[in-house]
Every structure is written in C-alpha cells, then in structure tokens.
Structure 1
Amino acid sequence: MAVFTPVSESDAQKLLTDYALGELVSLRGITAGIENTNYFLTTTEGEYVLTLFEVLTREQLPFYIELMHHLATHGVPVPEPQTLNDGTRLTTLHGKPCAIVSRLSGGYEPDPSAAHCALAGHTLARAHLAGRSFSISQPNLRGLSWWQENIPKVIPFLSGSQTELITQVLQEQTAFADSDTYRALPFGPAHCDLFRDNVLFDGTFEMPRMGGIIDFYFAGCDTWLFDVAVSVNDWCIERNTGVFQHDKLQAWLEAYASVRPFTDEEKLAWPVLLQAAALRFWVSRLYDFYLPRPAQTLKPHDPRHFERILRARRNTPAPAL
C-alpha cells in the first residue's frame, strides 16, 4: 500500500470516465503497507479505494478481484470491486493493472479486545465457507515454494543462530507438507494476510461492530488452518514478546469454530501451522527489509518481530484448538 506509482488528479479524472462512479472530489495516497499503490478516491457518488498492482500480474489478478466480488455477493463484508462500463472489473493505469473497490466504513483497532478478536474470527470463518463455491483456483503465492526460493536470498544477512533456525523450520515445513495429515486439512480460498490492520470496525471499543475485511491481494488457495494461524499470530499476542494472550486467543478460536468447527487433522496440525505462519512473515519481512524495492513512501517492518513469534511458538506448547 505504499505509493510506488504517482497518480495525479487528472489521471484519476480520466480513469473515472470508464466507470459510472461520478466526478472526482479528492484523491489521497495511502502510505501504509509494502506491496501495492493505493489511494483513497472520493467521488460525487461515494468513497472508494484505487489500487495499482505493482507485483501481481494481469493474469493473476482475476482471482483476487473476483474473489472479493464473490464474497461480497455472499454477504461477507469485503470491498466490492467496481464494474467498468464495459462490464469488467480490472483496467490499466500508467501501465499497471488497477481496480477501484468500495471503501468500507470504520477503522482498524491497533489494540483489539477479545470482542474484536471474536468478530474477526467469526467473519473469517464465514469467508472460508463462502469461498467453497468460488470457481477460480490460485495457490498462495507466498506459500512453501516461495519460502524455499527466498530463504537462501536472505540467509547472507542472518546470524548463525538465525540461519540455523530458519533452515530447520523450513526443513520441518517441507516434510510436513508431504504428510497425510497436511493433505487432509480443509483447503480453499484464504485471505493469508488477516492482520489487525486489515479488518475495520464500527461502533465503540466496548461494543465493536464488524466493518469488514480488506486487502485481499495476498489471498490464495491454502489450508484454512494456515489462515487462522496467520491471524491469531497477530491478533492474540503480547506485542513485545509474541506470546499469546489467552483470553483473546480463546475468543478468536471459539468464534471461528462456532461457524466452522475444526477437524481432528487440524487439531493435530495446529502447532506446525502456527510456526508456518510465523515463518512466512519472517521471511517476507527479511526480504523487504534487506532487498527492498524503490518506493516513494515505504516503511519496512522490523523482521525481528516474527523471529520472536516463531521462537515463542517453538518454545511454548500450542494452546489446543
């Protein structure tokens, strides 16, 4: 969501002629994030988000755009991709594929309560079940094969103990992905990046209401348990240590399971998938920190955060599902 590609008001005005979304009122760049160029786009018809895709290709994008459209039509609160005058939902700006989606109400909660965690878990489970009837398939592009490809690129920047840890965990995850337990896990479209800043809430802190899930551009078909593990590794932890806060974790998991109960295989796989989720973001943050792409406004995250979480998952027994 960093601004890699500048978009002027005249650019936006011209783009809007391909939609029935009214006239431009304002355009403001969004500086958070590390993957795409995003702008808040206000028109005489409403509030939207304009996204230019800096990494994903035009061939890959229909999965993300149509998944959001599918979930929205099934009542899941997600940004609705807007349809162009020609009936499509994807176009091009400055040589980059781009889309306009509805802007959801609310804001993200940086210090979520157990109530926020329950709402997030409940909504993710609804999204997983709604995704069962989605017809397009695309792998999680930041899954095991991506870890295998990119860990060798970041190892030169690591200490000996870090190298030992990241290599060991990769070997364990590679072996587990070839197991019968892994192959039995429920699988389908998954968000794969459901951090607290990708969920919006209305209401008050004491009585929050779900605004919606945003930023599906890391989504892919993966085990739903991996999606859960990614989420609780961010929502339900003590920030400085990565250790779980059990009231939040219990609220998150119980709310999810009330919609989609966990299977026996998922209960067996849970400790391994919690480590997989921590590894995925340690690797990507190492890559973005040491091998960044140029951007006008880019704030790389500290990769040590997910190293701490990974060590915590290995050193402390995983709470049961």
Structure 2
Amino acid sequence: MSVFTLLERAELEAFVAPYGLGRLLDFQGIAAGTENSNFFVSLEAGEYVLTLVERGQRADLPFVVELLQRLHAAGLPVPYGVATRSGECLRELADKPALLQPRLAGKHIEQPNAHHCAEVGSWLARMHLCTQAQPLERRSDRGLDWMLSEGPLQALQLDGEALELLRASLAEVAQAQAAVLALPRANLHADLFRDNVLFDGPHLSGVIDFYNACCGPMLYDVAITLNDWCSTASGSLDLSRARALLAAYASLRPFHPAEAERWPCMLRIACLRFWLSRLIAARQPTALGVQVKDPDEFRQRLLQRQQVHLPLPLAL
C-alpha cells in the first residue's frame, strides 16, 4: 500500500475537528499512488480524502489549492480543498502539508474504450480552456530542463539498445526545446493517467491528483494523457481510442498548426518523462508495500513512438 506516513487515530481526530464536519468514523490508507500518502476519511458529514504531500516544494502547494478552486468554479469535477471554520485549506499533519478534499464518486477504468477516451479528451480541453487566458504560473519539476540534466545520469545505468534510445531521445529534446516551449500554453494536469480519473457508469465523475500540475504547452498534456489511455499492452497506439480522444478534445479546443508539426516529437517527449522518473523511482529504496511502477513500460512506448501514424485533427 502506498502510504509513506502512517497516522494514529487520535492525531487524525484532532486534525479534522476544526472543519466542523462531525466525529471521525473511520479512515484507511489508499493503496494507489506513488508519491503522496492518501487516506479515505469518513466523517459524520460525509466522505473525504486526506492527502499528505510527501514530494515537492511546500511553497508550490498554494498553487494547487488555487488551481483546484478555479477548476471547481468552472464546473469541472475535481476534489477542491475543504476549508476549516477559520478559512484554512492547506494545513499540516505529521509534519507534512495536508489537504482534506471531498471524496468523488466513481471508480478507475482499467480497460478504457473509445467512449472513455472521448470523455477524458473533453475534460482535458475544458481544463485548458478555463486556464488558457490567464494561467497560474508554476514551472514543472519534471520539465525539459530536468530531462536534459537527469537523462545523462540515468544513461550511466543503461547499455545496449536502451542506452541508444535514451541518447537519441535526449538529443531530440535538446533540438526541439525552444519550439516546444513556444507552443500555446495553459495550466496542465501533467499526470492524467487512468488511475487519476474516476467514472461513474459511462460518465467521467472526477479527476484527482493535481500535485504534478504546472503551466506549459497544452500539447504536452494531451500527449501524456494519450500515451496512457490509448496504448496497447505492447506499447503501440490503439488508433480508435486515440482518435476518439483527439476528436473530443479538438471539438472544444482546436489544435494549432504548430502543434500538429510537433505532435510526433511531443508523444516521444511525454514517454521519455515517465521512463526517466520511473527509472529513478525503481532505484531508490522504498518502504515495504510502496508501489513502484515498471520503467520498461514507458521504454517500450517510447520505442513504439519512433514512428507516429496519428496526425492531429486540425479540422472537424
């Protein structure tokens, strides 16, 4: 179970008291996620999720709170921060930043179909549209500069075809960096994987885990999302799912010609980002039961993206 910080009932009871949501009935750790500790919390007033932030700069957390409030105000199903009676959303518990949020209905989809992908594409376009005009500024700590600095360190641990693939990918990032950063920008979820989306029946009912959110090229967010939702077990793209996601997105936020030009490269960059972060996680000591995802999954996807036969829909 991916809970890095264990909680005692008494300390959680003291933490929830200022919210005025009634007695603590029950709580349990959530066996998902790789970076933060999450708990389902049952209070007399309802069901909530408590997150203890384990990674990243504490100074960045007000950005997450403000972004969630903006998305909630725009009608997107997100777990906005609950405030105490004195108006505090972001607090501390067990010496970690802590955020209490409403628990959203629904469950994760393990085997998405074209309908699920279209729902995700629509949600992502809505997020980008409501932040594009005035995005909240936050630089990703897993951006292009990070890839170019971290990549050579990880190359020391690789050999053969994996090493050559990494070297070629880093060279592409260096060559494309300026053009990529010039693409249209907004706030990004930057981690819109299947385990961060909830469906209640056929409808998307919630998107969670905004702790990697940042400001950057919208196309990067699309590529990250599509690489997870539309990949087969071999790492290749399921074209029917991918076209459904892109069409739904483009019906709300049409793609720019410059984005179409950089699309194949962006799919590879998005694969590289998660290959590197998983390589790092796999080599770090972890607590018993903490989930570590297989880096080879994204190495295989990166291999499959060397040739991309999926153009962006520029006109519908």
TM-score relative to the length of structure 1? 0.93
Cα pair 1:4 1:296 within 8 Å, conserved: no
2:298 matched residue in structure 1:
306
2:52 matched residue in structure 1:
52
State the Cα deviation string for residues 254-280 of structure 1 (Å, max 9, x = none): 000111010111111101100010000
Cα pair 1:195 1:235 within 8 Å, conserved: yes
Provide the C-alpha distance between the structure 2 equivalents of 1:135 and 1:82, rounded to a whole number of angstroms. Answer: 23
Distance 1:316 1:127, change over 3 A: closer
1:185 matched residue in structure 2:
183
1:243 matched residue in structure 2:
236
Query: SS of the residue aligned with 2:19?
Result: coil
1:213 to 207, 211, 216: 207
- 1:134 Cα deviation (Å)? 5.2
Provide the C-alpha distance between the structure 1 equivalents of 2:133 and 2:81, rounded to a whole number of angstroms. Answer: 18
Of the structure 1 ranges 155-164 and 245-254, higher mean CA displacement relative to structure 2 is found in: 155-164
Instruction: Give the letter aligned to residue 189 of structure 1.
Output: N
Provide the C-alpha distance between the structure 1 equivalents of 2:310 and 2:117, rounded to a whole number of angstroms. Answer: 18
> Equivalences for 1:96-135 in 2 at 5 Å?
96-132=96-132
Cα pair 2:47 2:103 within 8 Å, conserved: yes
> Equivalences for 1:7-156 in 2 at 5 Å?
7-132=7-132, 136-156=136-156
- 1:296 Cα deviation (Å)? 4.2
Provide the C-alpha distance between the structure 1 equivalents of 2:135 and 2:117, rounded to a whole number of angstroms. Answer: 29
Cα pair 2:135 2:187 within 8 Å, conserved: no
Identity of aligned residues (%): 40
* Structure 2 unaligned spans of 5+: none
Query: SS of the residue aligned with 1:25?
Result: strand
Of the structure 1 ranges 300-309 and 1-10, higher mean CA displacement relative to structure 2 is found in: 1-10
- 1:133 Cα deviation (Å)? 5.2
Query: SS of the residue aligned with 1:80?
Result: coil
2:277 matched residue in structure 1:
284
Moved over 6 A (4+): none
Query: SS of the residue aligned with 2:18?
Result: coil
Instruction: Give the letter aligned to residue 155 of structure 1.
Output: A
1:271 to 255, 264, 275: 264
1:169 maps to 2:161: no
* Structure 1 unaligned spans of 5+: none
1:197 matched residue in structure 2:
195
Q: How many residues align?
A: 313
Of the structure 1 ranges 79-88 and 131-140, higher mean CA displacement relative to structure 2 is found in: 131-140
Of the structure 1 ranges 192-201 and 137-146, higher mean CA displacement relative to structure 2 is found in: 137-146
Provide the C-alpha distance between the structure 1 equivalents of 2:80 and 2:192, rounded to a whole number of angstroms. Answer: 17
Distance 1:139 1:50, change over 3 A: same
- 1:85 Cα deviation (Å)? 2.5
Distance 1:20 1:255, change over 3 A: same
TM-score relative to the length of structure 2? 0.95
Cα pair 1:78 1:214 within 8 Å, conserved: yes
RMSD: 1.5
Query: SS of the residue aligned with 1:178?
Result: helix
Distance 1:295 1:244, change over 3 A: same
Query: SS of the residue aligned with 2:137?
Result: coil
